[in-house]
Amino acid sequence: MTPANGRFKLILTLILALLLTVLPVPEPLDSFRPDWVLLVLGYWCMALPYRVSIGYAWMTGLTLDLLLGAPLGIHSLALSIVIYIIVMNHRLIRNISLWQQALIVGFLAMLNKLIIFWAEKLLFDISITPMYLWSILSTMLIWPWIFLILRKIRRQFAIR
Amino acid sequence: MKPIFATSTSLQLRLFFAVIASFSLIIFDSKFDSFSNVRLYLNTAVSPLIYAADIPSEMLKGVSNTVVTRRDLKKQVKEQKDKLFVQQVQLLEFKHLKEENNRLRALLNSPVHSDQRKLVAEIITVNSDPFSLQVVINKGSLDGIYIGQPVLNEQGVVGQIVDVSTTYSRILLISDITHGIPVRVQRNDIRAIANGSGELNSLNLPYMPHSTDIQVGDVLVTSGLGGVFPEGYPVATITEFTYQIGQPYAQVEAKPVVALERIRYVLLVWDDEESKSTTDTNKEAVL
């Protein structure tokens, strides 16, 4: 096996997740947009923790900052911390049921959002609205499907 | 072969480096202006993603353009023709007034307003940071756009450029919480600063004494004092002026003239004073 085994497909799924994050949707749906990047990156880190970890998280976070026009470094910081937690506990997360995993993903999505909020709060005088946290729910609900789809992709192309 | 030992320590080390790198990026990006050059290159690198994200809405626009009926189009063309006619007549009057104004200004030894370079740009519909009010447009540094450039539309002031790449740039809207714009009341020339509130349709004017002559419905125009925005463009109308006893200042709120939630085209303006002064310094450099 070459070390670049499936790297292209792996990065493609990440790019797709980034695209879904910046894709415009109607206003009412916008606050329910799942945290696509966290879902996809989280899956890969859980499945292949020796390959995909903080390096990927940091680079993806930086791209996200650029795409969203956020101050650089904010999403990299949040994603690095969240991905660290996933990689440290990947054995535990792998061995529990999908719905329990969804709960953990929801918790991590909340952590991600709160780190971003806190970091931006240091820079600007912003305030949080309950709308900001609604997407945690949709992130939780969509996790099982993302998990199954990405597992299929991983097995199909034997990415390891 | 998967390494079994020594991964957890290196993981912590990697996290440590990632956190340090993130914090230094946050500080560099928000505190040092020189970093905007780096940002230009990075933005250019991700620009394909921005344009790819815009494809679905472009396609929807294309569909809605093709299903327009012939009758609607005819009606639209007639309306536009009528509008153009009226505006052309108004333009004749405007040209006359402009010449007269320039002559009068010359008599007073005031600087004459000259024509500014303008460019129309279209909004790219992409999702942005939820904590700031921004829009992306389809023109970038290749078209000469620079950070701090004023952005207008046919109704009034929209905002200013905060971030450029070669092919797209980002506008900070006037109602963003970090944005402030020097204004004056059109009726009586009272000067103020209109700060963004973080909500799309509201600005507030801090530090206004309660005796200030400002009324609900007054129009605020740019005062040209900050050196960023050209003078005289409408910004907002006053929606609230209240004073509570015991408070040092009145609470003044205004609503932007531009419907910021549905802008599609914007106008970028080049400040001629700036281009003049840069050519002056160029001359000096040559001499």
**Any B CB within 8 A of A112 CB:** no
- The architecture CATH gives domain B180-262: Beta Barrel (2.40)
CA–CA gap between residue A71 and residue B146 (Å, rounded): 18
Paired tokens of B108: 């007073």
Helix (H, G, I), strand (E, B), or coil: what is residue B208? strand
CA–CA gap between residue A6 and residue A150 (Å, rounded): 13
Residue A115: CA atoms inside 13 Å, Cβ hemisphere, count?
A: 20
The ipTM of this complex is 0.86
Contacts of B131 (CB under 8 A, 6+ apart): A70, A117, A120, A124, A126
> Using a CB-CB distance cutoff of 8 angstroms, which residues of chain B are in contact with residue A57?
18
Which one of A23, A115, A116 makes the best mutation probe of the B interface by having the most chain B beta carbons within 10 Å? A23
CB pairs under 8 A between A and B: 123
Nearest chain B Cα distance for residue A100, angstroms: 24
CA distances from B122 to B68, B73, B119 (A): 21, 22, 10
**Any A CB within 8 A of B20 CB:** no
**Can you give the residue ranges of every domain in chain B?**
180-262
CB contact under 8 A, B129 and A73: no
Please report, in tens digits, the pLDDT of each residue of chain A (160 residues total).
455 578 888 999 999 999 999 988 887 888 899 999 999 999 999 999 988 889 999 999 999 999 998 889 999 999 999 999 999 999 999 999 999 999 999 999 999 999 999 998 888 888 878 888 889 999 999 999 999 999 999 998 888 7
* Residue pointed to by tokens 């078209």: B143
**Any A CB within 8 A of B33 CB:** no
* pLDDT, tens digit, 9 for 90 and up, residues B120-156: 999 988 888 888 899 999 999 999 999 999 999 989 9
CB contact under 8 A, A69 and B132: yes
